[in-house]
Amino acid sequence: MRPDNLANLLTRLRDGEISVEEATDALKTLPFETLGDATIDRHRELRQGFPEVVYCEGKTDEQAADVICKLAEEGDALGSRASRRTFDIVRETRPDAVYHARARVVAVPCKERTRPIDESKYILVVAAGASDLPVAEEAAVIARYMGNRVETAYDVGVAGLHRLLSRVELLRGANVVVVVAGMDGALPSVVGGLVERPVVAVPTSVGYGAAFGGLAPLLTMLNSCAPGVAVVNIDNGFGAAAIASRINHL
C-alpha cells in the first residue's frame, strides 16, 4: 500500500465517507498478500520508501508476471532479471508496461504519481566495458525508477585510462558513483581515488577463466586501497541502485 493511499483511506474514515468495517477490509492486505507460491510484501513502500521489486529469474514467466501485475494495481511495479516472455504476459494485462531489454527490467509506471527528482544531484553509473552494460543498465534503469537523476559513462575501463579521465568533471559532480566492472575489477579503485563521493562497486561475471565468474573482480574490489568504496554482490546492479538511491535521497 502506498503512503498516499493509506492517508486517503484514513481521511475518508475520519470524514465518515467509509465505515470502520470498510476500512478494516481495505487494511487486511496491508502487510502482505499470498498469491499462489508468492507472498507479496505490500508494506514495503511504507517501510522503505519504494515498493517490492520482483526478482524474476528462477520463477516461471507466468509466476513473475502475476506478481508484477498484482503489485501494479497500487502503483509502480518493477521486475528485475525479466525475460521478454514475462514482459509479453504482463503487457496482456497492462498495456502501459515497458521492457528495458538490455537491463532485463519490466516496468509498469504509475500514471497517478510522479516521484519528485532533485535535478541538482545525480547518480553516475560507470561501466568499464561494453560487456558490463547489462549490469550497468540494470543499475541505471532501477535508480531512475527509484526517483533519481541518473547519468552514465560507459566503456571507460582502465585499459584506456584517458577515456575515464576525460569524464572527471562528470565524476566529481556526482552525488554517488556506481562503478561496474569485470575482468581485473580495478576501475572502482581508480574512480575512488578521483572523487570525494561514495563509490558503490559492482563486480560482474565478465572475464576469462581466472576471473572465476566474477570472483576475481569481487576480491579486487573488496581489497580496494581507495577509501569510500563499498561493494555489492557479483552482477547485482539492482542492489547497487538501491543503496545509491538511498544515499542520493538523504
User: Taking the alpha carbons of 89, 93, 94, 95 in that order, is the dihedral positive or negative?
Assistant: positive
Give this prediction's pTM. Answer: 0.82
For 154-210, what is each residue's pLDDT tens digit? 999 999 999 999 999 999 999 999 999 999 999 999 999 999 999 999 999 999 999
Q: What is the DSSP code string of 112-137?
A: T------TTSEEEEEESSGGGHHHHH
DSSP-assigned letter for residue 185:
-
Q: At 70, is the pLDDT very low, low, confident or very high (cuts 50, 70, 90)?
A: confident
First to last CA, the chain: 23
Q: At 84, is the pLDDT very low, low, confident or very high (cuts 50, 70, 90)?
A: very high
Q: Which helix (H) or strand (E) holds 151?
A: strand 149-154
Q: What is the reported pLDDT for 40?
A: 60
Q: What is the reported pLDDT for 118?
A: 80
Q: At 119, is the pLDDT very low, low, confident or very high (cuts 50, 70, 90)?
A: confident
β partners of residue 179: 126, 201
* Alpha carbon distance 204, 81 (integer Å): 15
Q: What is the reported pLDDT for 199?
A: 97
Q: What is the reported pLDDT for 1?
A: 52
For 22-52, what is each residue's pLDDT tens digit? 766 666 556 655 556 556 665 555 566 666 7
Where are the chain's structural domains?
31-108, 122-248
Task: Average the pLDDT over each of 31-40, 85-94, 235-244 and give the range with the smallest value.
Answer: 31-40
Q: What is the reported pLDDT for 26?
A: 64
Phi and psi torsions of 12, nearest 5°: -65, -35
Q: What is the reported pLDDT for 27?
A: 62
Query: How does the average pLDDT of the chain come out, rounded?
Result: 86
Q: What is the reported pLDDT for 181?
A: 96
Query: Does the structure show a pLDDT above 80 at 243?
Result: yes
* Alpha carbon distance 43, 48 (integer Å): 9
Q: Which residue did the predictor score with more confidence, 8 or 127? A: 127
Query: Does the structure show a pLDDT above 90 at 8?
Result: no
Contacts made by residues 57-60, CB under 8 angstroms, sequence distance 24+? 57/81
Q: What is the mean pLDDT of residues 91-110?
A: 91
Q: At 244, is the pLDDT very low, low, confident or very high (cuts 50, 70, 90)?
A: very high
Q: What is the reported pLDDT for 75?
A: 75
Q: What is the reported pLDDT for 54?
A: 87
Q: Which residue did the predictor score with more confidence, 235 or 113? A: 235
Query: Does the structure show a pLDDT above 90 at 223?
Result: yes
Write the CATH number of the domain with boundaries 122-248.
Answer: 3.40.50.1970
Q: What is the reported pLDDT for 76?
A: 81
Q: What is the reported pLDDT for 16?
A: 81
* Alpha carbon distance 233, 240 (integer Å): 9
